[in-house]
Structure formats: C-alpha cells, structure tokens
Amino acid sequence: MLKMVALGDGAVGKTSCIMRYTQNNFGESYKATIGTNIAVKDVDIELQPGEPSTAQVVLWDLAGQPTYKDLRSRYMVGSSIAFLVYDVTRPPTFLNVASWYDSFIKVAPDAIVTLVANKVDRDDRVVPPEAGEMVSRWLNIEYIETSAKTGENVEKMFTKCVESAIRKEEKRLGNK
Ligand code: G3D
Ligand code: MG
C-alpha cells in the first residue's frame, strides 16, 4: 500500500485530477470540501512487459491552502509518491514549484515526485512545455502534461508514478 499526496498551489487542479482518475468525472461540486480527502485506488500497473498487476494506493488531497508549515509536513510524511501540479495559465503557480518540492523532499526524501503541467486544454496557456521540462531536469523528476477536463494523460500520470515508486522500492530492497 503506497501513500500518494497531491501538492501545488490552490486551484491548479489537484482535486480535479484525482476525481478524473478515480471517478472519471470533472467539474462536480466536490470542491467545497474542507480538510483532507483520502481516496483508495487500485492502480493497474505493468512492471515488466506482459506482467500486469495492481497496487493499492492511498491518495491524499489537502483541501484549502494551509499556511502552517507544520500541518503541511504532517500531511506529507510517510509518502512514497507526490504529484506536484501547476496551472499552465498561471505563472505564479509554476514559480512556486521549487518551494513545494523543497518542503516535500525534506519530509519524504526517498519519494518519487512527478511534475504535472495541468490545464493544457486551455488556449490561454502561458507557461510553455520547455519551462516545465527544464525545471524537471533540474530537480531530476518526471514531467507530464495533463488536462483533468479532457482526461488527457491523467491515468498515465498516476500509473507512471506508481510504477516508478515500486521500481524504486524493489531496487532499495534488492540492494540491502
Ligand atoms: P485544486 O484542488 O488544486 O485547488 P481544483 O484545484 O481541482 O479544485 O480546480 C480548480 C479549478 O480549475 C476548477 O474550476 C476546475 O474545474 C478547474 N480545472 C482543473 N483542472 C482543469 C483542467 O485540466 N482544465 C481546465 N480547463 N480547468 C481545470 P472552477 O471554476 O470550478 O473553480
Ligand atoms: Mg482541491
């Protein structure tokens, strides 16, 4: 069982990505929820070609934007995976990526992190793919472009994250 947390500024689409993935819908009235939402999902993975299996993932989604560092760390602790979302139509959400990354990796140094450029369906996009790719190279993490609205790459993002985390864990156990 793996813990996966959603990171990123408010309204970038964290909850929408999770809803798209777990319930295949978009734009429902789930946004008003206060607190931490937790969803359990069986993720279909293929660690070796032709060898499908499933992993149970517990998805943590923090509603609102707590300013208390303490609360954020407690939310992040014990995670194997984080997906760090920004909104390609709002540059400030992209500029905050490094700060989210730093605070997460302090708490979960062995976790897998994926950088997610969301809302790519919108025609008022201003953060280009090159910017996201560059930051992901600097941080040495994966990069993927998604739209929770159309569903583009959403399932792929979750599957890849989980496969990477399991591979990393297997490697770690193997090297013991
Ligand atoms: P958060 O959980 O990161 O705070 P939400 O963000 O999932 O609540 O989404 C914030 C707003 O962005 C919502 O709009 C939601 O519908 C919209 N949104 C999320 N993902 C996408 C996307 O991929 N494409 C588009 N076009 N919009 C998206 P409202 O207006 O309902 O607040
Ligand atoms: Mg949310």
What CATH number does residue 63 fall under?
3.40.50.300
Identify whether the C-beta of residue 1 lies closer than 8 Å to the C-beta of residue 56.
yes
Minimum-distance ligand to the CA of 11? Answer: 1
DSSP, res 32: G
**pLDDT interval class at 96 (50, 70, 90):** very high
- State the pairing for strand pair 81-87/112-118: parallel
The model's pTM is: 0.94
The residue to mutate among 12, 16, 122, having the most atoms of ligand 1 within 8 angstroms of its beta carbon, is 16
Ligand 1 atom at minimal distance to the Cα of residue 27: 16
pLDDT at residue 129 in the model: 98
CA distances to 19, 20, 70, 86 from 90, rounded to whole Å, are: 21, 21, 27, 8
The residue to mutate among 14, 20, 23, 31, having the most atoms of ligand 1 within 8 angstroms of its beta carbon, is 31
Q: What angle is formed at CA 68 by the lines to CA 66 and CA 72, rounded to 5 degrees?
A: 70
Look up the domain containing 92 and give its range: 2-174
Mean pLDDT value across residues 134-155: 98
Residues 6 or more apart whose CB falls under 8 angstroms from that of 168 comprise: 110, 112
Does residue 66 surpass a pLDDT of 70? no
**pLDDT interval class at 25 (50, 70, 90):** confident
Q: Which of the residue ranges 33-42, 48-57, 104-113, 114-123 would you say has the lowest mean pLDDT? A: 33-42
What total of structural domains would you count in the chain?
1
pLDDT at residue 30 in the model: 57
Can you tell me the distance from the alpha carbon of 85 to that of 82, in angstroms, rounded to the nearest whole number? 9
Q: What angle is formed at CA 13 by the lines to CA 11 and CA 19, rounded to 5 degrees?
A: 130
Ligand 1 atom at minimal distance to the Cα of residue 26: 16
pLDDT at residue 74 in the model: 86
pLDDT at residue 71 in the model: 76
Helix (H) or strand (E) holding 143: strand 142-145
Helix (H) or strand (E) holding 57: strand 51-62
Mean pLDDT value across residues 28-48: 78
Can you tell me the distance from the alpha carbon of 51 to that of 64, in angstroms, rounded to the nearest whole number? 39
- CA end-to-end distance (rounded Å), the chain: 21
93 lines ligand 1 (CB under 6 A): no
Can you tell me the distance from the alpha carbon of 110 to that of 174, in angstroms, rounded to the nearest whole number? 15
